[in-house]
């Protein structure tokens, strides 16, 4: 009984893996299938959110994969397929956020911060190097002369 | 200490403030805003469940009155939670249309026989294709459609007692837009 259960548990993941493979029909044209796969990697699974639909086992991800293949087979390029999905689900469905006014801060903040820090560091380093010590006044000059003279005598 | 030495502390506090504000705002990060708000319902035509309850198409949502479209399924447990509210709305005279999402018609019928039918019309979306056109990513989902056939509000997940006022408010707002 125990052994049967163990065997069942061992076989279970295999069955699950096989199930994923069986219900997918890749496109007949390998180039088109590769293109569809590339698009799938860029599309977010809405149920699991941080997976692409290529990685996800969710039902909805499977439906979306079917749609991507359909659109590619109909001759759509990557931009057209993405536009089709964005029209329905919004920019959310793209794993890489598009560059537009709403996302300027998102895209530009890290390089801007880096540039600002680099500029700050540069200015500080240069200021430290450039500022020459102030010229000696009369009293300091006299002390310097005394010290030099002392050293000359010994 | 020069004022500039407090800059990192200020930046840190700013970040803490921003995070806690978002955390306490009660916004659910899993709820994805609809891309279709204020846009016309995508075109579709869904078959009926049977003779007794008609199906509907996108044209049936632009007949001048506000309609609540509820995406449901017999296999969806949270759908049972919001069912009494949908029944109450229907009793108040709000037309409620259902989309039976990826559900076998006989299962949908059993679900309605058990809980009662609040739906004036039910469209059967066996393969979930219309669901994708609507941007459905989880069942249940509920849409408030104004009389001109535009989506005015979308609610993802079951309508809990805490959401009921919001849904009623969205219906009233849609009625103002389209004059019933």
C-beta atoms of A89 and B32 within 8 A: yes
Tens digit of each residue's pLDDT (9 = 90 or more) over B28-47: 777 777 888 899 999 999 99
Residue spans per domain, chain B: 32-178
Is A47 an 8 Å CB contact of chain B?
yes
Q: State the burial class of residue A89 (Cβ atoms within 10 Å of its Cβ: 0-12, 13-18, 19+).
A: buried
Interface predicted TM-score (ipTM) over 0.95 = no
Instruction: Look at residue B180 and tell me whether its pLDDT is greater than 80.
Output: no
* Closest by Cα among B175, B173, B165, B170 to B153: B170
Ordered by start, the domain boundaries in chain A are 17-98, 103-153
CB-CB under 8 Å, A64 with B32: no
List the structure tokens of A53. 């639909």
Query: CB distance B135–A90 less than 8 Å?
Result: yes
- Mind telling me how many Å the CA of A46 is from chain B's nearest CA? 6
- Residue among A49, A67, A90 minimizing CB distance to B132: A67
Total Cβ atoms within 10 A of residue A63: 17
Architecture per CATH, B32-178: 3-Layer(aba) Sandwich (3.40)
Can you tell me the distance from the alpha carbon of A25 to that of A126, in angstroms, rounded to the nearest whole number?
64
Q: Under an 8 A CB cutoff, do A92 and B133 touch?
A: no
Summarize pLDDT for B116-129 with one digit per residue, the tens. Answer: 999 999 999 999 99
Q: Which CATH class is domain A17-98?
A: mainly alpha
Residue in chain A lying closest to B35 (CA): A90
Q: What is the pLDDT of residue A22?
A: 45
Yes or no: say if B90 and B118 are a contact pair by the CB < 8 Å rule.
Answer: yes
Q: Which pLDDT band, with edges at 50, 70 and 90, does A25 fall under?
A: confident
- Is A64 in the B-facing interface, judged by CB distances under 8 Å? yes
Identify whether the C-beta of residue B148 lies closer than 8 Å to the C-beta of residue B126.
Answer: no
Residue of A nearest to B128 (CA): A63
Question: Is a pLDDT exceeding 80 seen at residue B170?
Answer: yes
Contact A43, A64 (CB under 8 A): yes
Residues contacting A146, CB < 8 A, separation 6+: none
Q: Which residue of A47, A86, A87 is in closest CB contact with B137?
A: A47
Chain B residue nearest residue A86, CA to CA: B35
């Amino acid at each position: 009984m125990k052994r049967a259960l163990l065997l069942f548990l061992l076989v279970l993941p295999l069955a699950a893996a096989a199930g994923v493979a069986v219900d997918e029909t890749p496109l007949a044209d390998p180039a088109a299938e590769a293109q569809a796969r590339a698009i799938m990697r860029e599309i977010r699974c809405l149920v699991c959110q941080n997976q692409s639909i290529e990685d996800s086992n969710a039902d909805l991800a499977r439906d979306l994969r079917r749609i991507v293949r359909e659109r590619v087979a109909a001759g759509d390029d990557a931009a057209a397929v993405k536009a089709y999905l964005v029209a329905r689900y919004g920019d959310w469905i793209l794993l890489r956020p598009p560059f537009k006014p709403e996302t300027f801060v998102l895209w530009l903040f890290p390089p801007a911060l880096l540039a600002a820090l680099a500029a700050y560091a540069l200015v500080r380093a240069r200021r430290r190097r450039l500022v020459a010590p102030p010229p000696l006044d009369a009293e300091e000059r006299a002390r310097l002369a005394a010290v030099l003279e002392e050293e000359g005598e010994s | 200490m020069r004022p500039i030495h407090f800059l990192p502390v200020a930046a840190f506090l700013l970040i803490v403030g921003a995070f806690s504000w978002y955390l306490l705002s009660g916004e659910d990060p899993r709820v994805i805003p609809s891309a279709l708000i204020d846009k016309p319902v995508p075109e579709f035509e869904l078959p009926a469940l049977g003779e007794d309850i008609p199906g509907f198409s996108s044209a049936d949502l632009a007949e001048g009155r506000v309609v609540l479209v509820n995406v449901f399924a017999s296999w969806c447990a949270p759908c049972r939670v919001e069912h009494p509210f949908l029944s109450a709305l229907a009793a108040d005279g709000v037309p409620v249309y259902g989309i039976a999402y990826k559900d076998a018609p006989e299962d949908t019928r059993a679900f309605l026989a058990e809980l009662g039918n609040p739906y004036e019309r039910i469209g059967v979306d066996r393969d979930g294709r219309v669901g994708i056109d609507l941007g459905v990513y989880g069942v249940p989902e509920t849409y408030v459609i104004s009389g001109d056939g535009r989506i005015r509000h979308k609610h993802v997940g079951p309508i809990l007692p805490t959401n009921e006022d919001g849904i009623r408010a969205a219906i009233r707002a849609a009625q103002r837009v389209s004059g019933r």
